[in-house]
Amino acid sequence: MGRLFGTDGVRGVANADLTAELALGLSVAAAHVLAEAGTFAGHRPTAVVGRDPRASGEFLEAAVVAGLASAGVDVLRVGVLPTPAVAYLTGALGADLGVMLSASHNAMPDNGIKFFARGGHKLADELEDRIEQVYEQHRTGEPWERPTGSGVGRVSDYDEGFDKYVAHLIAVLPNRLDGLKVVLDEAHGAASRVSPEAFARAGAEVVTIGAEPDGLNINDGCGSTHLEMLKAAVVEHGADLGVAHDGDADRCLAVDAQGNEIDGDQILAVLALAMREAGTLRGNTVVATVMSNLGFKLAMEREGVELVQTAVGDRYVLEAMKAHGFGLGGEQSGHVIVLDHATTGDGTLTGLMLAARVAATGRTLADLVGVMERLPQVLVNVPDVDKSRVQTSAELSHAVAEAERELGSTGRVLLRPSGTEPLVRVMVEAADIEQARCVAGRLADVVKSALG
């Protein structure tokens, strides 16, 4: 069996890859593994379970709840809420486990299961591995040890979760949003109620689009993966800015008053300077991945902010932040982590903090993001090559060194073997788009000839 857990929980096509049986079995296995690890020692365990609005979330939630309760875990069902809300409530309610059913920005037929440890933090890799091992062991025949009588878990709805999470978001904002007009695109997803409520309570005039989930329309032509509707709505309503979430609202992209896209790098740049000014930028450092635009790196250097770069993936950003005590990190895709207020990427919090900076400074979003110039970035995928030889090919090393010399300090080359396919990604940044295209094309040819 291939590894079930990916970098962000277990995902697949609901009712094909991700079945009710799998959801139930993994939940029982998680309860047993956490009991074995001593998480439940000395008390009756509790889990918080939430989901995004996908139709399949209804039966998968039922399976997860049944699995946990059958293993003696009391369950608080919080209903449709963002992933970061489930993480927050897991910590705030002192629960032993959090479970979120969502496939984030994926298309509607997919779904996923993500487990949070006590405190609302991502479950450690070794615990995920152990859950998988225990699940497989019992799937093939070994019977579970099951509680009976009063030992079975009790299930209740925790309707206060919505208000508790919104109140938390408002409480951590540095200032109110009075006087701002904001368009919110909720991707017909998990933040469809939360985000408009939070922005309105913070004082903004709110226009919402993509906030009518019917279980089937999540991420469909809207949200952070499709910004066209938001760009048009911001201009049409004369708004100060627009904010777009994905299906589970753990990420956020923005749009300025002219309808220009603002990506995760630009949001990070604005928040880094705002937090430094407020004295809350721990270690005067921001954490980002190697895929961050070179313009972001140059801007941070110019502003005197340290930059730590990690492998691609918000899990690596979070690991580096926790290991060194940094408080701000994120990715170009809009996963932004503000560790003082959240244990995971939180799109609603990110959008609120970005809007708060606009309100506090009286400057436009376009003006604020002007701190960095986004350099043209060209990405070419080279398929059917031996990606294991990227680091060892002398011909390739020579070609990369030549390209770096040609680009100088305002350009960059990055070769990344794909984690899942036999291909190599060639990424080139340069001050001039034509130069970036030319260098990327040349390097892609060398990758083909050297590794083909």
Q: Among all chains, which residue has been given the structure tokens 């940094």? A: 326
Distances (CA, A) of 284 to 74, 229, 327: 42, 37, 9
Distances (CA, A) of 134 to 101, 151, 369: 21, 21, 49
Exposed / middle / buried, residue 23 (Cβ in 10 Å: 0-12, 13-18, 19+): buried
Exposed / middle / buried, residue 141 (Cβ in 10 Å: 0-12, 13-18, 19+): exposed
Exposed / middle / buried, residue 2 (Cβ in 10 Å: 0-12, 13-18, 19+): exposed
Encoded amino acid at 180, one letter: L
The angle formed by the CA atoms of residues 213, 219 and 224, to the nearest 5 degrees, is 120
104 is catalytic: yes
Is 224 part of any known ligand binding site? no
The candidate with the shortest Cα–Cα distance to 113, out of 133, 77, 83, 91, is 83
Q: Exactly one of 56, 104, 195, 224 is catalytic; which is it?
A: 104
Is 96 part of any known ligand binding site? no
Is 248 part of any known ligand binding site? yes
* CB count in 10 Å sphere of residue 228: 10
State whether residue 135 is helix, strand or coil. Answer: helix
CA 230/CA 261 separation, integer angstroms: 10
The helix or strand, by DSSP H or E, that contains position 399, with its residue range, turns out to be: helix 394-407
Q: Among all chains, which residue has been given the structure tokens 């400074």? A: 361
Is 250 part of any known ligand binding site? yes
The candidate with the shortest Cα–Cα distance to 136, out of 315, 16, 10, 47, is 10
Encoded amino acid at 286, one letter: V
Encoded amino acid at 55, one letter: A
CA 251/CA 105 separation, integer angstroms: 9
- Residues whose CB is less than 8 angstroms from the CB of residue 97 and which lie 6 or more positions away in sequence, other chains included: 30, 31, 34, 39, 45, 46, 47, 48, 68, 73, 90, 115, 116, 117, 118
The angle formed by the CA atoms of residues 226, 228 and 233, to the nearest 5 degrees, is 125
Binding-site residues sit at: 104, 246, 248, 250
Active-site residue numbers?
104
